[in-house]
Structure 1
Amino acid sequence: MLTTRIIPKLEVKNENLIKGIHLEGLRIVGKPEKAALRYANDGADELIFIDLVASLYQRQNWINIVRRTAEKIFIPLTVGGGIRSVEDAKTFMRAGADKVAINTGIIKQPKLVTAIAKKFGSQAMVASLEVQKKIDGNYEVYCDSGRTPTGKEPITWAKKVAGLGAGEILLTFIHQDGTYQGYDLELLEQMAKQIKIPIIASGGAGEIDNMIKAVQSGADGLAIASLLHFKKSTVKQIKHKLHQKGVNIRV
């Protein structure tokens, strides 16, 4: 039985750690480097860093944040935001990232999945899917930090990127993000049944029971943001509760 990973997700804008609801209404909640170190020391299995601005003129500041963080932590670091080429991926790998998470870049250029997987290994290529549940109950993949609908159905797209060489899916539920109301178990379970690469569930982490159900539904990792950033819980507390409930976790 694989160990479930607990993965703090840190969204960054202009050198600040920020958080919103449904990927909107962003507010500053701290500094990314400090938070990353705190979560790593508290037992996080990995970290995810996402640059929500991803603008070229701020790129060097972002690279420096990644580099300084990677020098201080000793767990895998995934970096996303504005990665649109193998050269972009290489820049962040050199700065200390272990994986890159890409959404918009691979929607516009699907072959980028294969190119990065060939260059760095499939384990380094994380396909980021930001998904919105529509009024009719169907789901759609969005890009540009959840602002732009793509017309893509999530499971079909997940199968496509897995076939192109992605080693992992970061599945973000926009409609649950920041609500503490739980991951979308329906979509998670459907996707897990149809693809063979690991899935990290993201968006909505709240009650422990929902986290357990997410693992039972096929999540290999649980990305957590608001619950940690607003100090409603800690990595250690979450892992302890999951372990007590029988989830295979590194404590």
Structure 2
Amino acid sequence: MKSVRIIPRLDIKGPNLIKGIHLEGLRVVGDPHSFALRYYEEGADELVFMDIVASLYGRNNLSRIIEQAADRVFIPITVGGGIRSVEDARHILRSGADKVAINTAAVQRPELIGEISREFGSQATVLSIEAKLVGPGRWEAYTDNGRERTGLDVVEWTKRAIELGAGEVLLTSIDQEGTRKGYDLDLIDQVTQAAPVPVIASGGLGALAHVSSVLALPRCSAVSMADVLHYKRLSLSDIRKTVRDAGMTTRIA
């Protein structure tokens, strides 16, 4: 029986939890710690924290927020944004994270993926991809919260990063993110078929039918969401029930 992870995503700017559309037009939602604690208590499998301005300033500023969360949240935590070195990764992991997600720095220097993987294990090394449709069945990887083009084909970049040591992929559709129109199924299907590691589908969840659609893809086993939880359009129990009704298992019954 297929096991599915349900993973709330918290995008952070300074001290605030924020949310945008297509990774732009950011609005303050509230205090990230209170939201993280709520999602943990409601049965999230994992949490993702992304410092969405870290690449602009060259460092991740989430250590205090992660320390707070790790003190009361006892599920795996992934942290991304501005992680440019093994030392940056070590600092975030010591703050309480279980995994680090890298995007901009990995594009600039792919060897970083292997360095972090060798030091902390592939299970702690997550490749974050911001994907934008650029042609029929073709997506380009972007960096800096969807602002900068890389020229990298998403599927080929995924394969290369996994060969270098990435043990998981956080795949965000820029086109769908924040729209509540559903996940980019074609994108997710192509990447999951090419990736022998877990892929977290992110960007676009707006209705329970979208959960069913993405999990019908044979190799998709993790879904991330933000807007629908932050604004209480759906609950984690709703999503969990949808997963179970589809004949799949979740961590919380």
Q: TM-score by structure 1 length?
A: 0.95
Map 1:1-251 onto structure 2 (within 5 A): 1-54=1-54, 62-134=62-134, 138-217=138-217, 218-250=219-251, 251=253
The alignment partner of 2:84 has SS state of coil
Query: Compared with structure 1, are the counterparts of its residues 55 and 166 closer, same or farther at alpha carbon in structure 2 (3 Å cutoff)?
Result: closer
The alignment partner of 1:133 has SS state of strand
The alignment partner of 1:247 has SS state of coil
The alignment partner of 2:158 has SS state of helix
Per-residue deviation at 1:243? 1.3
Contact 1:159 1:194 (8 Å CA) reproduced: yes
Q: TM-score by structure 2 length?
A: 0.95
Per-residue deviation at 1:190? 1.4
Deviating more after overlay: 7-16 vs 232-241: 232-241
Contact 1:208 1:242 (8 Å CA) reproduced: no
CA distance in 2, matches of 1:136, 1:168: 26
Alpha-carbon displacement from aligned partner over 1:92-145 (angstroms, at most 9, x marks no partner): 000000000111010001011101010000000000010011265531100011
Per-residue deviation at 1:191? 1.6
Q: Deviation above 4 Å: which 4+ runs of structure 1?
A: 55-61
Where does structure 1 lack aligned partners over 5 or more consecutive residues?
A: none
Alpha-carbon displacement from aligned partner over 1:185-215 (angstroms, at most 9, x marks no partner): 1111112122211100000012222212212
Contact 2:46 2:76 (8 Å CA) reproduced: yes
Per-residue deviation at 1:59? 5.7
CA distance in 2, matches of 1:43, 1:236: 8
Q: Residue type matched to 1:199 in 2?
A: V
Contact 2:8 2:224 (8 Å CA) reproduced: yes
Query: Compared with structure 1, are the counterparts of its residues 58 and 132 closer, same or farther at alpha carbon in structure 2 (3 Å cutoff)?
Result: closer
Contact 2:2 2:248 (8 Å CA) reproduced: no
Per-residue deviation at 1:61? 5.2
Per-residue deviation at 1:7? 0.1
CA distance in 2, matches of 1:105, 1:46: 24
How many residue pairs match? The answer is 251
Where does structure 2 lack aligned partners over 5 or more consecutive residues?
A: none
CA distance in 1, matches of 2:189, 2:241: 24
Contact 2:55 2:81 (8 Å CA) reproduced: no
Query: Compared with structure 1, are the counterparts of its residues 245 and 41 closer, same or farther at alpha carbon in structure 2 (3 Å cutoff)?
Result: same
Query: Compared with structure 1, are the counterparts of its residues 171 and 57 closer, same or farther at alpha carbon in structure 2 (3 Å cutoff)?
Result: closer
Contact 2:22 2:177 (8 Å CA) reproduced: yes
Aligned Cα root-mean-square deviation (Å): 1.7
The alignment partner of 1:223 has SS state of strand
Q: Residue type matched to 2:232 in 1?
A: K
CA distance in 2, matches of 1:152, 1:61: 27
CA distance in 1, matches of 2:35, 2:58: 20
Query: Compared with structure 1, are the counterparts of its residues 55 and 245 closer, same or farther at alpha carbon in structure 2 (3 Å cutoff)?
Result: closer
CA distance in 2, matches of 1:61, 1:175: 27
CA distance in 1, matches of 2:188, 2:3: 18
Q: Residue type matched to 1:242 in 2?
A: V
CA distance in 2, matches of 1:169, 1:191: 9
CA distance in 2, matches of 1:172, 1:82: 17
